[in-house]
Each structure stands twice: as structure tokens, then as C-alpha cells.
Amino acid sequence: MSGSIKDRVAIVGMGCTRFGELWNKGPSDLIVDAVTEAVADAGIEIKDIQAAWAGSIFSGHGGRSVSEPLRLQYIPVSHVVNACASGHDAVRNASYAVAAGIYDVVWQ
């Protein structure tokens, strides 16, 4: 394998939720809001995502916490738990899967 990971992987879209007291929204709503924004920013559709990594420490439902609200059917969803580094570790794992040529489009 020649080159480095920076030659194989790019973050092409991002999204986030509004900050504040969002009493009318639950975790699933916030996930859908952020991912909808990220997918639009990347110029893709949800159906283009081939695999997903979810980094959280207290979700309690593993990959289901993202696969169900996003309706990510029939793709692998990995739940990453690594204390305060869960989100970073999810990005790292998703990046390595793309760099290895396993997937072209992933979500984290």
C-alpha cells in the first residue's frame, strides 16, 4: 500500500444540531437532524451510505441508536465505546475502512 491515509480518505460533509435546550427533541431526532444536514452537505443520499460507525458511551442500544432512526437497513453499523474518545475512535475506524478499500461512502 503506497501513500498515506490522507491520500485515500476525505470528509466530504458535516452536520450538527442546534445548541440549546431542545426539550421537544429526543436523541433520535438529533441524530436525524445532524445526519440529514451532513448528507445534504456531501451531496449524497442516505441510500449511498455503505456502513456506519456510532461513537457514544451512554446510548445503551449499540448501533441500533443510529440504524433505526436513520432507517439504515442492510448495512453494517458498528457501535464504538471508548470513553471520552468514542467519537474520535468511530471516525478513525470509519476512515481506515475507507482507506482499506472496503467501502467508498461511510457515515460516522
Which alpha helices (H) appear in the chain, and where do they start and end? 27-42, 64-70, 86-99
Q: Are 68 and 27 in contact (CB under 8 A)?
A: no
The stretch 17-41 carries a mean pLDDT of 92
Strands 51-55 vs 106-107: parallel, antiparallel or unpaired: parallel
Query: What is this structure's pTM?
Result: 0.84
Average pLDDT along the chain: 88
The stretch 83-108 carries a mean pLDDT of 92
Q: Strand order of the sheet with strand 51-55? A: 77-80, 51-55, 106-107
- Where do the structural domains in the chain lie, given as residue ranges? 5-107
24 vs 40: CA distance, rounded Å? 24
Evaluate if residue 28 carries a pLDDT over 60: yes
Tell me, what DSSP letter sits at residue 19? Answer: P
In CATH, 5-107 is 3.40.1130.10: no
Question: What pLDDT is recorded for position 60?
Answer: 64
Tell me, what DSSP letter sits at residue 83? Answer: T
Question: What pLDDT is recorded for position 2?
Answer: 57
